[in-house]
Each structure stands twice: as structure tokens, then as C-alpha cells.
């Protein structure tokens, strides 16, 4: 099963010990194939530095942990104008490009779509219930 986590899932997984951190642990145990793109990596880095003031060394460690459990891909499908927030289109491009089964997010705008192409868009809690 191919899965893409939205940026908010990664941020939640490192800021709290809850469902999102559990899902990242499942990715590390290879319960599913996790995919990520440079846009999501950059967004994680920017949010950790600017919003949460995480020290550079911890940001590097976090990104390395993500890279160790993820497949990095450069999106080949360009999604434009689907979401109100154009940054969300980049997340959709990642999911569609890897032919993901699921896009896991807490973003209401993305969740309203319910799916794009073959990718179902669901909450972290819904995904966790599948295990």
C-alpha cells in the first residue's frame, strides 16, 4: 500500500506522542510504503524553524528520520487549481505521482475532496483504524 503524509501529519508526529507519531512508527516498520517529495520536506523544515523555533540540528535529525522511512520522489503529475491553498496542490501532485492509495491529512480543504484520481484522502485516525 502506497501512502503520502501531508506536512501536518509529520509536524504532529514530532510535536506530540499520538496517532501521527504511531503512523510514522508504522512506516518505519514497513507496514506500508511511505512517499514524500521535496516540497513536503521543505515545508516541514520551514514550519519547524519558523513556527516552532526548532534548532537547526534537531531539524536535520528530524528530516533524516523522515528520509530513512520514506521514498523520495519528484512529482511527475502537475496538479493546479484544485485547492484553495495552492500549496495543497503540491501535496496532491505528490500523491498522484506515486499513485498513492491514501493521502493522510488533517487539512479540511484536502479532506473535502475525499479523493483525487485513485488516492483516497483521509484523517490519520481513519488510517490508523485500518490496522
User: Residue ranges per domain, the chain?
Assistant: 2-128
Phi-psi region of 30 (alpha: psi -120 to 50; beta: other; left: phi over 0): left
Banded pLDDT at 19 (limits 50, 70, 90): very high
**What does the mean pLDDT of the chain come to?**
96
pLDDT digits (tens, 9 = 90+) for 49-78: 999 999 999 999 999 999 999 999 999 998
The pLDDT of residue 72 is: 97
The pLDDT of residue 85 is: 86
- In CATH terms, the superfamily for domain 2-128 is 5'-nuclease (3.40.50.1010)
- Give 42's contacts (C-beta < 8 A, 6+ positions apart): none
The pLDDT of residue 83 is: 84
Banded pLDDT at 81 (limits 50, 70, 90): confident
Amino acid at each position: 500500500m502506497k501512502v503520502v503524509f501531508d506536512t501536518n501529519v509529520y509536524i504532529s508526529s514530532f510535536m506530540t506522542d499520538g496517532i501521527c507519531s504511531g503512523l510514522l512508527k508504522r512506516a518505519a516498520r514497513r507496514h506500508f510504503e511511505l512517499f514524500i517529495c521535496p516540497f513536503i520536506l521543505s515545508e516541514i523544515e520551514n514550519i519547524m524553524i519558523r513556527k516552532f523555533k526548532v534548532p537547526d540540528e534537531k531539524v536535520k535529525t528530524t528530516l533524516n528520520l523522515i528520509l530513512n522511512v520514506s521514498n523520495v520522489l519528484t512529482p511527475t503529475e502537475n496538479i493546479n487549481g484544485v485547492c484553495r491553498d495552492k500549496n495543497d496542490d503540491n501535496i496532491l501532485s505528490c500523491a498522484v505521482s506515486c499513485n498513492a492509495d491514501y493521502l493522510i491529512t488533517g487539512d479540511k480543504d484536502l479532506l473535502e475532496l475525499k479523493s483525487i484520481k485513485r488516492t483516497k484522502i483521509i484523517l490519520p485516525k481513519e488510517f490508523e483504524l485500518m490496522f
